[in-house]
Amino acid sequence: MVDLDWKAKMVSSDISNKSSKLSIPGPFRLLNMSSPLSTSASASSAYEYYLRLPELRMLWEAKEFPDWQNELVLKPALHALETTFRFISIVLSDPRPYSNRREWTRRLESLATSQIELIAMICEDENEDKTTAGTAPIVDLTSSNGVLARECSSTEVWKVHGETTVVNRTSESSLLPRLATWQKSEDVAEKILYSIECEMRRCPYTLGLGEPNLSGKPNLDYDAVCKPNELHAVKKSPYDHVDNHENATLYTVHQILEAWIQTAKQVLKRIVSRIDAGNFETAANDGYLTEKIWKLLSEIEDLHLLMDPDDFLRLKSQLMIKSVNETEAFCFRSKALVEITKMSKELKHKVPFILGVEVDPKGGPRIQEAAMKLYAEKEEGNKVFLVQALQAIEGALKRFFYGYKQVLVVVMGSLEAKGNRVVTSSDSGDSLSQIFLEPTYFPSLDAAKTFLGEFWSRGHGGSGLTRWMKK
């Protein structure tokens, strides 16, 4: 514990003894419960069986290109995007007259755009990390000199920048080019294609899904990396026989969710390795990428709000989905979600290494002082970016679980959502509330900002702060 009297003195030795003392809020009192990140093994197994996750993981974790370090990060992200194309087909083929097709279309367009933005961030990383540059499997569109191969029917030749010949190749297995030729989905597909064109402009290559590719970039060998045919082979749930159209919706939403959780897992591993190697700038980039993935997971969960209430609750009964106990959250049936939550929280242990100090065994403010010095001196920008990114991850994580709790209430009703007890009362003892009401994961960074803010609020000049930091 940090000595609060010491903290008050540290703000400034010039403050009068009559000045009010800076007060630090105490930690939230949590109930003495088991870990909120836990659920029954049987519930998790049923969840994985329903989504065919073991088969999907085999696709996500298959290493096809040994020299390409980004493969295990990008592949599940591409799978999520390709599954979104299938989802668009499912929604636009829905025969129910009461389906809100207009809002579904808007949400899926937005979801596809958000995913393309994150995929572009992953691809941009290859430009910044010299160890990964040039290792992606690409198709050089200028190497054929305008000659079309007989086996590639989905290609076109055009000229750009005068006499430069470009062969623009389109994936033969992806569903997106097919959506572009279907009257119901033509406008949606076109918007997605232009999103790819815009978001990939800073990347060393483009995706090769039929986007204009006005800059004539190389195409990622999408079919070889994503393998859409193998992905769509697991498009049917083991409970596909259940007579309920929302079954396909629920199944597809959660396959997209799990694919991005897999990507987040790989990015979090990379953050740790890059911090350990002292690559703080690239680690910060991955930190902000992880923050955006947490926000994307919230966007995916919000799709449940568009499901028909009666059909969904009937499906819940048909699939026999129910809480094992009063404090269990449905989302924790996903082992991977539990894992990335723990990995995100464990990043707090990297702060002393980033700041270049060791934890004081006596509980002194060594880390806090180092953080204040880092913020004030502005000489190591990469470290500032990194610790800011770590706190951004925390914020996005807690917002995800808070938002998920609201989605549960809207979709299932407050009584059904939490075992007829927790959500309807002011009790914060349920597992979701425990997570978003937890004290900050980075108390030293929080305290450093608190005292810097107090310092500046008392009207001290920059020179005074500089003198204090040199003491």
For the chain, which domains are there? Answer: 37-52+246-470 (1.20.58), 63-235 (no CATH)
pLDDT tens for residues 258-301? 999 999 999 999 999 999 999 999 999 999 999 999 999 999 99
Across the range 119-126, mean pLDDT stands at 94
Q: Give the helix ranges, DSSP H, for 356-413.
A: 366-377, 381-412
pLDDT tens for residues 75-90? 999 999 999 999 999 9
Can you read off the two tokens belonging to residue 35?
A: 């870990």
On whether the CB atoms of residues 18 and 207 are closer than 8 A, the answer is: no
Neighbouring CB atoms inside 10 A of 195's CB total 20
Question: What DSSP string describes 203-266?
Answer: SSSB--SS---TT-PPEE-HHHHH-HHHHHTT-S-TTTTSS-THHHHHHHHHHHHHHHHHHHHH
pLDDT surpassing 90 at residue 427: no
pLDDT tens for residues 223-248? 999 999 999 999 999 999 999 999 99
The pLDDT of residue 15: 39
Q: Decide: residue 419, CB within 10 A, 0-12 exposed, 13-18 middle, 19+ buried.
A: middle
Cα separation, 57 vs 225, in Å, equals 15
- Tell me if the pTM is above 0.75: yes
Kindly report which listed range (115-129, 350-364, 448-462) carries the lowest average pLDDT score. Answer: 448-462
On whether the CB atoms of residues 22 and 454 are closer than 8 A, the answer is: yes
Q: Binning pLDDT at 50, 70 and 90, where does residue 36 land?
A: low
Q: Decide: residue 90, CB within 10 A, 0-12 exposed, 13-18 middle, 19+ buried.
A: middle
What radius of gyration, in Å, describes the C-alpha atoms of the chain?
A: 25
Q: Binning pLDDT at 50, 70 and 90, where does residue 141 land?
A: low
On whether the CB atoms of residues 330 and 408 are closer than 8 A, the answer is: yes
Residue among 387, 447, 199, 397 nearest 293 (CA): 397
